[in-house]
Amino acid sequence: MASTKVDEQGQVPSRPYSAWNIFFQLEREWILQKKLGVVNSSLLSDDLFVATDPRYINSGRSRLPSRYQDLNLPSDWWITGKGRRRKRLHRKSHGKISFKELSSMISSAWVSADSETREFCYRLAAIGMLEYKNKKNSRMHRSTTPLVPASPDKKEAVVAVVVSEELNSNKSTSSPSPSSIASSQYCGPCQTVTPVTTSSSGDSPRMRELVGEYISRLQNKIVKANRQQRSIKLVDMDDDDIMKLWNESPANDDNSMASVVFDQLFYSPPPSRGDALEGDGYSSVDEMSCGRGM
């Protein structure tokens, strides 16, 4: 669903998957394989996903939810902008279900998805966004401004903020403060996620302000989305047409709320006239740079 341009060659990095994109891929394979008995026989054993793949676990991604652990998935199903595209099974090849019917089933499954599945999808989406913003800023400022990468603890803390707020956004009508977000346990190389509190190491007033702004804007976005949900209609389109629309759409259509926080993790402009914030290692940032989207 994203372009295949490679950042190392000076091109635009591929946009990350959203939580919905991740869930759609997994649930689609679960329906085809478990309910309809359709398996993509073109996948060789070397092309199958394994939970011990270093590319997967070394980036902090956790194991699959129990519902999807025994599926036959492509080895790079979680990577955007895959260099080697595979031919996905369509109705004309398996004859089991149309895209419209499949989309309806996946939408219903998302509504009733358990907390394990939702947390997994939101976490992968948050990690993907962090990696995307890092690559994007590295490309934009490689020859002008030195970058200060975020520490693993701070990266995990921001991921925890995003996951917690996505999971709890529909349970509260007011914006919780960052200090109320509890620590979470994840499997994988980063077992413990440091809670974001006002006394956390490396925290700053600017970071708390950005996190609070992100939480408020995210909840407003969810309220608007809930109001518009009833008017959403399913469209029967081929997968290739959907991917074409995705690739040709401008990046600012994604309207990512998380970019407010992520921009501050990997890029700080040079300080100007003694405006650097005290004690947090961040330079002053004008409001335009803080509010820009992807």
Give the span between the Cα atoms of 71 and 48, in whole angstroms.
10
User: Is the pLDDT score of 185 beyond 50?
Assistant: no
**Could you identify the residue written with the tokens 């006239």?**
273
Look at residue 201 in the predicted model and tell me its pLDDT.
40
Look at residue 31 in the predicted model and tell me its pLDDT.
93
Global pTM exceeds 0.85 = no
Nearest to 155 by CA among 187, 123, 181, 177: 123
User: Is the pLDDT score of 269 beyond 60?
Assistant: no
Q: How far is CA 280 from CA 178, 198, 204, 250, 277, in A?
A: 17, 13, 6, 35, 6
Look at residue 13 in the predicted model and tell me its pLDDT.
78
User: Is the pLDDT score of 26 beyond 80?
Assistant: yes
